Chain A
Amino acid sequence: DVKVTQSSRYLVKRTGEKVFLECVQDMDHENMFWYRQDPGLGLRLIYFSYDVKMKEKGDIPEGYSVSREKKERFSLILESASTNQTSMYLCASSLGRELPGEQYFGPGTRLTVT
């Protein structure tokens, strides 16, 4: 079974702090994704990566950056956390060109910024 793990289930940070959310997948997947999920707004793509050291902006990249130094690990960084970044953050991975769209999600990190 594909396993996608996220470093924290719950996180509370203060406004202005730098926040790191880590995601690791164990199935040698090419693609990795970071989403946020908010009531009434659905899943929104923040950033994604097709390969190591490659990144592409999603629909809402402002206020976020990412890092993919190793194939299995994709980090989301909030440079200076703000209260409007309080949300559920979901990481996902997919195999690549075969079975496009078949994504495997982690359990999510519920981040609260106070």
Chain B
Amino acid sequence: QKEVEQDPGPLSVPEGAIVSLNCTYSNSAFQYFMWYRQYSRKGPELLMYTYSSGNKEDGRFTAQVDKSSKYISLFIRDSQPSDSATYLCAMIPTNAGKSTFGDGTTLTVKP
């Protein structure tokens, strides 16, 4: 069983919809949680970075971490066609080891 499981998708939504992207994990040592966005034929870029439980908001994006359930989510409000990409969750323990990535969810936002 993988340490990090990500909803596989693909996901297709109309413009303006609220999108929820989700990952679960099994390693309770994970303390830092990241979301990366990867456009086609590009490298991933860091979108959100959170530490431990709680919510973090940045514009239309909200990252949510529930450590008790070992569950993280990325919400996108008022989704735009430019949000069409693959979203990767990632997490890392406190002692700065290597990150563990989810397999990614491909999102398409239709105009």
Which A residues lie at the B interface, using CB under 8 A?
4, 33, 40-43, 45, 48, 58, 90, 92, 96-97, 99-108
Contact = CB atoms under 8 A, between A and B. Distances in A.
A58 B36 CA distance: 20
Contacts of A96: 96
B74 interface: no
A102 B103 contact: no
A42 B101 contact: yes
Given A40-B103, A41-B103, A102 B98 contact: no
Interface in B61-92: 88, 90-92
Contact of A101 (B43, B44, B45, B99): B99
A66 to B, nearest CB: 14
A105 B37 CA distance: 11
Interface of B: 32, 34, 36, 41-46, 49, 88, 90-92, 94, 96-99, 101-104
B77 to A, nearest CB: 24
Contacts of B88: 42-43
B34 A102 contact: yes
Contact of B96 (A33, A100, A104): A100
A43 B101 contact: yes
A2 B46 CA distance: 11
B96 A97 contact: yes
A101 to B, nearest CB: 4
A108 B43 contact: yes
Contacts of B46: 102-104
Given A100-B32, A102-B34, A105-B44, A42 B104 contact: yes
User: Which of A43, A100, A101 gathers the greatest number of chain B CB atoms within 10 Å?
Assistant: A101
6 contacts: A43-B104, A45-B98, A48-B98, A100-B97, A101-B92, A104-B46
